[in-house]
Structure 1
Amino acid sequence: MTLQLLGLLVVFGITGIVMLVHFTGGSQAASLSQDEDIRDAWHADWPHNKPLKTMVNTGGTAALIHLPNDALGLIWSFGADTVSRTLTAGSLRSVKARGNTLIVQFNAFDCPTARIPLTRRELPEWHAQLAPYLPQEVSHG
């Protein structure tokens, strides 16, 4: 078998596999549109932190999780799976709006940034919910 023929078989084989996965739903993003979906995804990562209330974005791709003791969690879809974080004081580096996207930067090496699509009405509400987890400025005087 010639190298050119082998190269064509590899290229078409990989393309066929990618198309098969995509058209059978394997590349579909995780949905967080239902309260049950949010709770199941949260429970997979944090089985001992029971959600009290959830607040999902309009697109169904992210949610804020209200936890006992006034704690807050954030979960968002990342491809076909989800990423979730419990938030503590200072765990966020910044929360900025860019267009209709809220960009949340974490103070964690393993999870540097989350991009959450929100409506114009959701942006200030989500920012207000996340603001207490930003670093507090210390005055030296």
Structure 2
Amino acid sequence: MSLPVLVVLVVFGIALSVAAVHFTGGTMTATLAGAEHALARFAEDFPDEKPGAVRLTSDRQAAILELDPQRCGIVQSIGDCFLTRIVTPRDVLALVREGNVLSLKMDDFTWKGGRFAFADEADALSVAAALLSHDQIREAA
């Protein structure tokens, strides 16, 4: 087989594979249908926890669940699946609040944190207060 024909076959095969993954849903991002969906997903991994308030992000790709003072549960979409974590202030390396947006940097090599945009500033303040004391929260200039 000549080299040009082989190159064309390889390129066509790779393109076909990528298209098949895309059209079968492999590139979709999971979203939360609402607070009940977030609670149910969190309960799958942490059945003994009893979350209180649920704060969904604007894009519905994450939810922060109030557990007790100084602890939060996080449900965040990663591709077409959800990651769940329990976060305490000692897990947080950095937290920056810009209005209704929180940026978290975590001390966890399996999940480095993320950027969470809430519908209103009160939700961002509540989550920040649960994770850090007021004098530790740095507001972006």
> Smaller-chain TM-score range?
0.7 to 0.9
1:72-119 CA-to-partner distances (Å, cap 9, x unmatched) read 212211211122210223211112246875321112222222122334
State the percentage of identical aligned residues.
29
Contact 2:72 2:131 in 1 (8 A): no
Q: TM-score when scaled to structure 1?
A: 0.74
Shift of 1:30: 0.8
Is this contact kept in 2: 1:76–1:116, CA < 8 A?
Answer: no
Over the aligned positions, Cα root-mean-square deviation in angstroms equals: 2.7
Aligned length: 134
For the Cα contact (< 8 Å) 1:51–1:65, is it kept in 2? yes
The alpha carbon displacement at 1:37 in A equals 2.5
Alignment partner, residue 7 of structure 2 = 7
Consecutive unaligned residues of structure 1, counting only runs of 5 or more, are none
Q: 1:106 to 1:41 in 2, by over 3 A?
A: same
Instruction: Give the match's secondary structure for 1:7.
Output: helix
Aligned to 2:77: 77
Query: Letter of the aligned partner of 1:108 in structure 2?
Result: D
- In 2, Cα distance between equivalents of 1:103 and 1:65: 16
Q: Among 117, 122, 133, which residue is 2:131 paired with?
A: 133
